[in-house]
Structures are given as structure tokens and as C-alpha cells.
Amino acid sequence: MTAVQAVQPQTEFYPTRIDLASDIRTQVVIILSQTLASSLDLKTQTKQAHWNVKGMDFIQLHELFDEMAGELEEFVDMVAERITALGAIAKGTARVAAKASILPEYPLDAVSGKEHLIALADR
């Protein structure tokens, strides 16, 4: 199953004042749901780097990764709220995000600041 297939199309919507046709709303929700999943995944990967970075630049990178995760959290919240404004359900659990994310798995053996920077930049 591909990541796009993991994001199930929304077939029913809650009432909303948004006057988009159902087929367009469905397409937008699918794209936003994919974005939500991948953004949540990126946020947790950034926290992985924050928790595990070691080396001479530890404090600078530790703080940078935490700030990045905070910015991602705000973006995730905005995307989820757009989904619900369209009358759909924002599916944002860790399991859903992991299943639907288009990002590769984070290298759990990354330790040095350089390894974490490369891993995050690749994502």
C-alpha cells in the first residue's frame, strides 16, 4: 500500500458553510490529509533529532531542533483545522501519520549533529 492509498478518501462531510462541490472538497481533503500525515511524521523525526543529538554543537542543535518541532506543530494544527473546516475529520494519530507519511524512516542510529542535520535536510 502506498502512502497516498493510506489516506482514505472522505466520502461524507459534516455540514459546513464552505460551498465547494463534494468532489473538489474530497480532493482537497485528500491532499491536506497527506500533508497532515507527513508533517506530523516530520515533527516527530525532528524531536528524534532533538532528543538524541550529541557532540560539540549539542546545545545549538538541540535548541534548533526543538524550535523546528514547535514551528511544525503550529503548521500541523493549521492543516488539521483546514480539514475540519471543510467538514472532514482530521486523522492525526501517530499510527495514521506513520502509515500515510511519504517520508522515509528516520535513521535511529544517528548521533552526531551532522548526521541529524543531513537526515532532516533529506526530509
Q: Which of these, 108, 102, 81, lies nearest to 92 by C-alpha position?
A: 81
Q: Which CATH number fits domain 19-122: 1.20.1260.10, 1.10.275.10, 1.50.10.20, 1.10.1270.20?
A: 1.20.1260.10
One digit per residue, the tens of pLDDT, for the chain of length 123 reads: 455 545 666 668 888 888 889 899 999 999 999 999 999 999 999 999 999 999 999 999 999 999 999 999 999 999 999 999 999 999 999 999 999 999 999 999 999 999 999 999 999
In this prediction, residue 8 carries a pLDDT of 64
* pLDDT at residue 1, rounded to an integer: 46
Environment class of 31 (CB within 10 Å of its CB; exposed 0-12, middle 13-18, buried 19+): middle
- The predicted structure's pLDDT at residue 10: 62
First to last CA, the chain: 21
Task: Retrieve residue 88's grid coordinates.
Answer: 472532514
Mark residue 34 as left, alpha or beta (left: phi above 0; alpha: psi -120 to 50; beta: remaining): alpha
Is this prediction's pTM over 0.85?
A: yes
Write down the domain spans for the chain: 19-122
